[in-house]
Structure 1
Amino acid sequence: MRADRLLSLLMLLQSRTRLTAADLARRLEVSARTIYRDLEALSGAGVPVYASRGPNGGVALMEGWRTTLTGLTRAEVEALAAVATPGALDDIGLAAALESGLMKLAAALPAAQQPDAEHARQRLHVDGSSWFQEREEVPQLAVLRDAVWQDRKVELSYRDFEGAESARVVEPYGLVIKAERWYLVAGTPKGTAVFRGARVEGTRVLPERFVRPEAFDLPAFWKGYCQQFAEKRASYEVTLRLRGEREEALGKVRSAADQARMAEAPLGEDGWKTVTLDFERESIAIGQLLTLGRAAQVIAPEQLRAKLKAMGEDLLALYAEQASP
């Protein structure tokens, strides 16, 4: 087990300019003391590794040094072979590069391991797309990608969830795709912020470059952001009566927590459940509940009941007044 960890430690140091002992401990899920012991073991084996102190300090390999170790375990070969070509990479022009890179990697494997790669490829396929949610169009994605790659500031024309427009200059750190939605992670005067790609209506790449924060790690930031979003997201609770047979349809567009609430709610003798769900915003509740028609009856809040009633009356009047074409 320690040999695997030493190899992982060496690969991390070889792929990054400099990492702190705390970073290495977090990535390898061990203590900082264990990292220091492993570094001593690498040094004793002839690996030119050193540590420096100070604000910009950390652990690094001697500049220009590279190991020739290229062996992969069977599990690593299978994991790499099972990587599908995500449509997301097509969006930013990298799908072909991924496919050719994996082909080169497979060709470079020892002959004894190549059957393992094909074996895995035929038994595991990863499809990250959704059944019911289409990928959003992001017309500015190519421009954003260039700005991210070149570390250039960008002036964004942005429309938020409520429809308010704004213009701002940001420092684009990276792009993330989650559930068929692209997001831009960028530095702003108020700190690191996240912008939904489909709401970026205009971009202008500025000639000015920015210095990317050395300690910024995109995967770590995104993980923390998602946790905070789940804890602090907007709340709009709706108590409703739901006809049992429509529970599955509503569950497809609700969170795991709401799905659990629906599953735990007792089914009455009349075939209805009473449950309180969190739709985040009134507009989301209206859009999802209207599709259920008479199978969902809002009990509270009263304002939502009134809006749904008014919408129903408007529709009734429309179809009552107009003859069929």
Structure 2
Amino acid sequence: MGDMRASRLLSLVLLLQNRGRMTAQALADELEVSVRTIYRDMDALSAAGVPVYADRGRTGAYQLVGGYRTRLTGLSEEEAQALALAGLPAAAAELGLGTVLAAAQLKLSAALPDELRRRAGELAERFHVDVPGWHRDLERVPALAEIADAVWHARRLRVRYRRWDDTAVERDLDALGLVLKAGVWYLAARCGGSVRTYRVSRVDALTDLGESFDRPEDFVLAEYWRAWSEGFEKRLYPDTALVRLSPLGRDLVPFFLGAVGARALRETATGPGPDGWSTAELPVERGAPALGQLLRFGAELEVLAPPELRSRVSEVVSRMGERYG
């Protein structure tokens, strides 16, 4: 039985559990397969010991026998919420849901037929999600569980927040959502009528103000994060440099400049020429940091413009040559 089919069989069981009674056509439409596939899957579920039966006749429907539903719905509200983080156990632990998630997974495992339970175990043995980026651990975020609770219950918080320059400010926030990005937790919160992003590790203290708030009807966390991330990239790399890149230099762009650099390379690169080198416009930070970014490429990159940046790179390379010469 393939992984996709095992997943589909579990989806069938959960659909019948949640909706009670469904025709083969309705199941086929829901799972985007043929009715014939549903018939075969139902036979497989019956053979695996799942107590499913069908009404007679062409318009008959499938349903689970009573009692099997009880086995599958033994999850508490907390456990059901925690299952959304089933692939991110470290994140669940940080949110204070580690033991809750473990209990939910045990209940779900106990409810599965032997074949599906075996396949689920094999999946866990073969795929692992590691959230932090290289050379970076998950940050210490002592306020995370309290913030998550405020997000869930739409509670207003007063926080003391350390800005990037280490100065502290006090803010009243409507906690709208949490995002885990490369091992770093971010809070999307409304402050003074606008939604902003806060790094959770910089929250030094917080107080629940004992007030609820109404979530904005048009706020969608995934859409907000996508727009904010794009804006953040533009703020992080506000300038561009026209450069020549060797074949190795092209390969190094995603490692040194990340996804934003790789995208710029795809969109602006010309060549390669007879010597194998290409020309591209790469995003760089403003001022001195741009120098460090481009020097990482060593001899695999040549800065063509702007002239002042090329001059600064040339000066540093000359001084390095003198030092090592």
Q: Same fold (TM over 0.5)?
A: yes
Deviation for aligned residue 1:221? 1.9
| 3-state SS of 2:308 partner | helix
Q: Is the counterpart of residue 98 in structure 1 residue 71 in structure 2?
A: no
Q: Find the counterpart in structure 2 of residue 205 from structure 1.
A: 206
Q: Find the counterpart in structure 2 of residue 172 from structure 1.
A: 175
Larger mean Cα displacement after TM superposition, 127-136 or 173-182: 127-136
> Which deviations, in whole Å up to 9, do the C-alpha atoms of 1:190-244 show, x marking residues without a partner?
411112345x1x52212523323245688x2233331354268333221111122
Write the mapping of 1:28-43 to structure 2, written as runs, cut at 5 A.
Answer: none
Q: Find the counterpart in structure 2 of residue 87 from structure 1.
A: 90
Q: Find the counterpart in structure 1 of residue 298 from structure 2.
A: 293
Q: Partners of 1:147 and 1:94 in 2: how far apart?
A: 14
Q: Match of 1:142, as an amino acid?
A: P
Instruction: Say how many residue pairs are matched.
Output: 245
Give the one of 193, 196, 199 matched to 1:196.
199
**Aligned in 2, Cα 1:224/1:214: closer, same or farther, shift over 3 Å?**
closer
Write the mapping of 1:1-325 to structure 2, written as runs, cut at 5 A.
Answer: 70=72, 83-111=86-114, 113-122=116-125, 124-129=126-131, 132=134, 134-135=136-137, 137-138=139-140, 141-150=141-150, 151-160=155-164, 163=165, 165-169=167-171, 170-198=173-201, 200=202, 202-215=203-216, 220-227=220-227, 229-230=229-230, 233-234=234-235, 235-252=238-255, 253-255=257-259, 256-261=262-267, 264-279=269-284, 281-282=286-287, 285-312=290-317, 315=320, 319=323
Deviation for aligned residue 1:257? 1.4
> Which deviations, in whole Å up to 9, do the C-alpha atoms of 1:59-91 show, x marking residues without a partner?
xxxxxxxx96948xxxxxxxx899534433344
Structure 1, unaligned stretches of length 5 or more?
Answer: 13-27, 29-66, 72-79
Q: Partners of 2:85 and 2:177 in 1: how far apart?
A: 25
**Aligned in 2, Cα 1:276/1:96: closer, same or farther, shift over 3 Å?**
same
Q: Match of 1:127, as an amino acid?
A: V
| 3-state SS of 1:142 partner | coil
Q: Partners of 1:312 and 1:223 in 2: how far apart?
A: 44
Q: Partners of 2:113 and 2:218 in 1: how far apart?
A: 33
Q: Partners of 2:96 and 2:191 in 1: how far apart?
A: 27
* Normalised TM-score (structure 2): 0.60
Q: Match of 1:100, as an amino acid?
A: A
Percent same amino acid among aligned pairs?
Answer: 22
Q: Match of 1:171, as an amino acid?
A: D
Q: Find the counterpart in structure 1 of residue 36 from structure 2.
A: none
Deviation for aligned residue 1:246? 2.3
Q: Partners of 1:154 and 1:268 in 2: how far apart?
A: 58
* Normalised TM-score (structure 1): 0.60
Greater fraction helix = 2
Q: Match of 1:248, as an amino acid?
A: D
Q: Partners of 1:157 and 1:231 in 2: how far apart?
A: 22
**Aligned in 2, Cα 1:223/1:99: closer, same or farther, shift over 3 Å?**
farther
